[in-house]
Amino acid sequence: MIEVIRDNCVGCKLCLKACAYEAIEIIDKIAEINMDKCTLCGACVSACTFDAIIIRKFGQHKIDRNQYKNVWVFAEQKNGQIAQVVYELLGKGRELADQLETELVAVLLGNNVKHLTKELIAFGADKVIVAEDEKLEHFLDLPYAKALTDLALKYKPEIIISGASVQGRSFIPRVAVELKTGLTADCTGLEIDTENGGLKQTRPAFGGNIMATIVTPNHLPQMATVRHKVMDPLKRDDSRRGEIIEEKIDFSDFSDETQFLEFVKDETQTVNLTDADVVISGGRGLKNKENFALIESLAKALGAAVGGSRAAVDAEWISYPHQVGQTGKTIKPTIYIAVGISGAIQHLAGMQSSDFIIAINKDPDAPIFKIADLGLVGDLFEVVPQLIKKLK
């Protein structure tokens, strides 16, 4: 909490000038702070030369770090098939666990999924904790959150990482709240701090204009969700051996007002965007929804997945599941073709790791050309039809 010591305040307005959020007013020569606007940044405290403003901090939660060990990866699965992002997390988790000289543990939730444990071990896990129950057969936030929370409270992992998928983004924040710890979402990088052994979590911030490194120094476990296609999986090794731990979650006192009805697949997406080898995306340069047929025709000729920029999605030319970028999907195809996309930094954040980037744009100064391996400067309405004709 922040407090003005009225006996010390002289109404000099130094704090007023220092506040970037217009949260301070001078009333009767005394500073008054609007808590609806104040972010507790402390700028006014530093600016005040009369010690008239103080921030009171509550005592920090003390933890015994020796009680916490191991790196956990939430092994997301759907219909008995492990999500691709899990393999990437196991690769990074293996690296983190080796640095900390601890074990890598995969946590598998579901029903009749025990057969997947060997695959998780083959891709790097030392142990697999598997919890099977009818309530976990289909993904729902609350039962999954309870299951992972109960397991974390029992085993006390040092680090928990999950994919920043629909599942991960949905229930991992609930787990962090229950465990009273921090959570960094949509990470693109994880590494161990060599000085204190803490987890350094990197993610885009301020619209992708900077990369922020976040730490959780006072609470455990350290938790993060990680974007798909930003980390590399290990090669499968079926000779690896690991321990399988079966756990039973107590749902006797559990109640959930939601129920699973059905999963409706996006029929417009013939190829999975995040798994596709070739992705073709259209942007604002297409001018209208009808012209997106050019992108779909080109994609069909190449057997590619169709993507779109945020501008195209916002204009409702294509649905959100196809959006590539910071607020959409992060992809890493072999070939990425950007058609009529200028290359805003938010879009680049989702596709710049592609192996080979082709850009088609009539503006020779478009930012997309700075990262493109091959650039075609021209009118897309002339270039794309010719490409389709040649391919056919």
Cα 64 versus chain centre, distance: 29
Tell me if 291 sits within 8 A of 178, measured CB to CB. no
118-144 burial, b at 16+ Cβ within 10 Å, e below that, comes to bbbbbbbbbbbbbbbbebbbbbbeebb
Q: Please state which CATH number belongs to domain 278-391.
A: 3.40.50.1220
Q: Please state which CATH number belongs to domain 65-247.
A: 3.40.50.620
Q: Domain ranges for the chain, please list them.
A: 2-55, 65-247, 278-391
Matching fold, domains 65-247 and 278-391:
yes
Assigned CATH class of 2-55: alpha beta
What's the pTM value of the predicted model, to 2 decimals?
Answer: 0.73
Cα 203 versus chain centre, distance: 8
Residue 273 has phi, psi (to 5 degrees) of: -60, -45
- In whole angstroms, give the CA distance from residue 71 to residue 106: 8
Contacts of 220 (CB under 8 A, 6+ apart): 63, 65, 68, 156, 158, 181
Per-residue pLDDT of the chain (392 residues; tens, 9 = 90+): 899 999 999 999 999 999 989 999 999 999 999 999 998 888 999 999 999 999 987 666 667 788 999 999 999 999 889 999 999 999 999 999 999 999 999 999 999 999 999 999 999 999 999 999 999 999 999 999 999 999 999 999 999 999 999 899 999 999 999 999 999 998 989 999 988 899 999 987 766 667 889 999 889 999 999 988 888 899 999 999 999 999 999 998 888 888 888 888 766 555 578 878 999 999 999 999 999 999 999 999 998 999 999 999 999 999 888 999 877 888 889 999 999 999 988 898 889 889 999 999 999 999 999 999 999 999 999 999 999 999 88
Q: Which two tokens stand for residue 242?
A: 């690991």
Q: Which residues pair with 184 in a beta bridge?
A: 224
Contacts of 183 (CB under 8 A, 6+ apart): 172, 173, 176, 223, 224, 225
Residue 315 has phi, psi (to 5 degrees) of: -80, 0
